[in-house]
Amino acid sequence: MATEKVKDPMGSTGFLEAAVKISHTSPDIPTDVQLSMREHFLRRTQRMQRQTTEPASSTRHNSFKRHLPRQMQVGSLDLGNDYVVDKDEKPTSIGRIQPELYQQKASESEDSSKTSSGKNCGRINFSLKYDYENEALLVNILRAVDLPAKDLCGTSDPYVKVYLLPDRKKFQTRVHRKTLNPTFSESFQFSVPYEELAVRKLHMSVFDFDRFSRHDMIGEVVLENLFETSDLSRETNIWRDIQYATSESVDLGEIMFSLCYLPTAGRLTLTVIKCRNLKAMDITGYSDPYVKVSLICDGRRLKKKKTSIKKNTLNPTYNEAIIFDIPPDSMDHVSLHISVMDYDLVGHNEIIGVMRVGSHAEGLGRDHWNEMLAYPRKPIAHWHPLLEPKKSEKEWKARTASFDSQGSCPSPRPPASP
């Protein structure tokens, strides 16, 4: 049919002549417009002839049909009668998903997220050796490399604080001005028996000195096991990555107390035994600690009791009992909020550290509570590490006071005024 149209172009020419003849009958159409119309019809006719001479089905479309079922994983797709599957045809990778590319990108994104969350803070080099004659651990802070810049000029003024936890004694290196790769080469001596080294932790905090504002913390290094590399009989050189931190995670101290519950009497007894290695809150290097215990029921504080104040000590001994009357059916709804406070004659008392015990507490606080319930009428004593309060005391009081408790432990209400 296409060839017949090509051989007989007279039909289209006759059509053009008829159109031109019609235009001749109108005296209002100028001659140049009639010529442009004739050229327009000629171009249109040639375009129509080109379209009719093209094949009805192109190989490009057939190749698209061949790739389509592989991409969509459809085996029963109707491709028409003109398609026959070639068994010898090898599958191509055009348009197909390649999982290995996505796995590579995923691994790269994971690595980048780890590096961004880790925040490279450089490395620190130090050495350890134990002096058997003087019963002391020798810590030599050698150097640090690749520290982050904390100042506007692109450098830092680094120095290092060294602790041997849980003791609060602290040593500090000199400040090195405008450098990201300081060389310290300073030695410090901690008096400690060799038998106690297994339970000690070496803590190093790297700071950037600032003369007019608070010093910026660069990061910290905590060596949990001092015998990780050797027995310290000879000097051991160690490299460690400096971990990102915004505040020192130095221990705040520990508190030891016992819990005992009498189900028949509905009486809970908390005996505050002692504290050790508390954080120094006063200029003298000591604190005036006391312990405050609050009974919490469904988010609301019902009662508050406290111990006596021990002056100028970081290791106070109390042996004081605090008693709460709690019915057995209310034990699942209550918890104890324990705060170790530093008494201040002028100003507000400061919080040294807090911890919480109860059925909804976390970690050791929950385990201690469950052990007390499992062994009624028997005092259960444990050491508990003190933690920093997540929120200020004012925010905690506002949150607990605004909570409208409708549980099984209603707080005592004052009598209504007449």
Maximum pairwise Cα distance, the chain: 129
Q: Is residue 225 part of a domain?
A: yes
Pairwise CA distance, residues 175 & 154, whole Å: 17
CATH code for the domain in which residue 168 is found: 2.60.40.150
The mean-pLDDT minimum among 66-70, 92-96, 154-158, 383-387 falls in 66-70
Confidence of residue 80 (pLDDT cuts 50, 70, 90): very low
Task: Give, as one character, the DSSP assignment of residue 198.
Answer: G
Task: Please indicate, yes or no, whether residues 272 and 217 belong to a single structural domain of this protein.
Answer: no
Pairwise CA distance, residues 121 & 321, whole Å: 47
Query: Is residue 72 over pLDDT 70?
Result: no
* Residue 128 φ/ψ, nearest 5 degrees: -130, 145
The reported pLDDT for the residue numbered 64 is: 41
Tens of pLDDT, residues 260-292: 999 999 999 999 999 988 887 777 778 899 999
Pairwise CA distance, residues 412 & 101, whole Å: 66
Task: Please indicate, yes or no, whether residues 236 and 340 belong to a single structural domain of this protein.
Answer: no
Q: Is residue 35 part of a domain?
A: no
Place of tokens 């905690």: 396
Query: Is residue 222 over pLDDT 80?
Result: yes
Q: Is residue 43 part of a domain?
A: no
The mean-pLDDT minimum among 46-50, 283-287, 409-413 falls in 409-413
Pairwise CA distance, residues 156 & 180, whole Å: 6
Task: Please indicate, yes or no, whether residues 324 and 204 belong to a single structural domain of this protein.
Answer: no
Query: Is residue 81 over pLDDT 80?
Result: no
Residue scoring higher pLDDT (12 or 156): 156
Confidence of residue 94 (pLDDT cuts 50, 70, 90): low
Query: Is residue 342 over pLDDT 90?
Result: yes
Residue scoring higher pLDDT (287 or 76): 287
Q: Is residue 148 part of a domain?
A: yes
Q: Is the peptide bond before 166 cis (omega within 30 degrees of 0)?
A: yes
Among 201, 227, 234, 203, CA closest to 217:
203
Q: How many domains does the chain have?
A: 2
Domain that holds residue 205: 122-242
Task: Please indicate, yes or no, whether residues 259 and 386 belong to a single structural domain of this protein.
Answer: yes
Q: Is residue 327 part of a domain?
A: yes
Q: What is the pTM of this model?
A: 0.46
The reported pLDDT for the residue numbered 98 is: 60
Task: Give, as one character, the DSSP assignment of residue 346.
Answer: S
Task: Please indicate, yes or no, whether residues 233 and 271 belong to a single structural domain of this protein.
Answer: no
Q: Is residue 328 part of a domain?
A: yes
Task: Please indicate, yes or no, whether residues 261 and 384 belong to a single structural domain of this protein.
Answer: yes
Task: Please indicate, yes or no, whether residues 204 and 269 belong to a single structural domain of this protein.
Answer: no
Task: Please indicate, yes or no, whether residues 220 and 337 belong to a single structural domain of this protein.
Answer: no
Handedness of CA 110, 114, 117, 122 (dihedral sign): negative
Task: Please indicate, yes or no, whether residues 288 and 261 belong to a single structural domain of this protein.
Answer: yes
